């Protein structure tokens, strides 16, 4: 844990060396994510609701998805650049250090600029909470935190899958981005608004809805999670840590078969 905290502190200090640039990058993140938020609000202003979901409820889904994804992006930058680490020989250097390889890769590059996206997500959730009038209980808070943590694990597992592919292809496969960044864009809206194929894909194949949207819908008191007992609802987010554990085993398989590029 001390190693992780030191790495995070060093990455933050590195990013803050040029404060004006750092602040401008944070602002750019706010503007880009705010643009998505503005487009969604304009759409909701025109139509008022989507399916059986009111605009304020969709706003909560939007905020939750972007908060989860910004946390993931903050800590997964090393996985996102893993292909270049293999090509440059930087990963070979990590093999000589007395630390866990996956920990080194994750902490090699943190992205504190993502606090801008986090701020937009938190603001959207706070505004939606005020508009809906959610009566928070300990049960709801714990369910929301558990589901968001599990979704971060799921997203990390997807980026880890992209990194492991680099062991065999030397560079990342962009098709995985359909599930990561495409999943973020899709699941910022309730998944039951989409056709059956999209709903099945993001519920059972890439279970973002299972980890995040079903628990969130129960927090909002809406029917997406109708028919699922409360006890089972707490088990749904286990798909996220389970997927991450599976990808970690895949990572170990890739490390054992890694051959240096000779850089």
- CA gap 108, 7 in Å, rounded: 8
Task: Burial-class residue 220 by CB neighbours within 10 Å (0-12, 13-18, 19+).
Answer: buried
What pLDDT is attached to residue 243?
Answer: 92
What pLDDT is attached to residue 64?
Answer: 93
pLDDT in tens, the chain (263 residues): 666 677 677 777 777 777 777 788 788 888 888 888 888 778 777 777 787 888 888 889 999 999 999 898 888 877 877 877 787 777 878 888 777 888 888 877 777 778 888 888 999 899 889 888 888 889 999 999 999 999 999 999 998 888 888 887 766 566 777 888 888 888 888 888 888 888 888 888 888 988 999 999 888 887 675 566 777 788 889 999 999 999 999 988 888 888 776 65
Going from the C-alpha of 180 to that of each of 7, 121, 202, 207, the distances in angstroms are 25, 17, 11, 12
Domain positions in the chain: 2-256
- CA gap 141, 196 in Å, rounded: 30
What pLDDT is attached to residue 4?
Answer: 66
What pLDDT is attached to residue 19?
Answer: 76
What pLDDT is attached to residue 150?
Answer: 94
What pLDDT is attached to residue 172?
Answer: 59
What pLDDT is attached to residue 173?
Answer: 64
What pLDDT is attached to residue 117?
Answer: 86
What pLDDT is attached to residue 204?
Answer: 87
Cβ density class 3-15: b for 16+ within 10 Å, e for less: eeeebeeebeeeb
What pLDDT is attached to residue 35?
Answer: 80
Q: Say how many C-beta atoms besides its own lie within 10 A of residue 142's C-beta.
A: 11
Cα–Cα nearest to 219, from 104, 93, 63, 72: 63
> What's the whole-model pTM score?
0.88
């Amino acid at each position: 844990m001390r190693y992780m905290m030191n790495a995070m502190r060093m990455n933050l200090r590195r990013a803050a060396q040029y404060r004006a640039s750092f602040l401008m990058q944070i602002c750019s993140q706010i503007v880009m994510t705010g643009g998505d938020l503005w487009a969604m609000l304009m759409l909701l202003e025109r139509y008022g609701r989507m399916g059986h979901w009111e605009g304020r409820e969709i706003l909560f889904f939007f905020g939750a998805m972007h908060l989860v994804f910004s946390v993931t992006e903050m800590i997964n930058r090393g996985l996102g650049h893993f292909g270049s680490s293999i090509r440059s020989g930087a990963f070979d250097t990590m093999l000589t250090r007395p630390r866990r390889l996956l920990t080194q890769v994750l902490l090699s590059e943190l992205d504190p600029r993502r606090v801008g996206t986090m701020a937009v997500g938190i603001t959207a959730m706070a505004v939606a909470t005020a508009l809906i009038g959610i009566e928070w209980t300990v049960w709801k808070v714990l369910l929301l935190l558990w589901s968001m943590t599990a979704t971060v694990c799921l997203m990390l597992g997807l980026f880890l899958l992209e990194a492991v592919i680099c062991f065999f292809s030397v560079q990342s496969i962009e098709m995985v981005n359909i599930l990561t960044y495409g999943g973020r864009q899709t699941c910022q809206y309730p998944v039951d608004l989409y056709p059956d194929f999209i709903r099945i894909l993001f519920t059972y194949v890439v279970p973002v809805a299972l980890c995040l949207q079903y628990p969130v819908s129960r927090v909002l008191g809406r029917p997406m999670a109708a028919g699922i007992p409360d006890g089972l609802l707490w088990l749904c987010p286990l798909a996220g840590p389970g997927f991450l554990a599976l990808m970690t085993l895949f990572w170990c398989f890739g490390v054992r078969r890694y051959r240096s590029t000779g850089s």
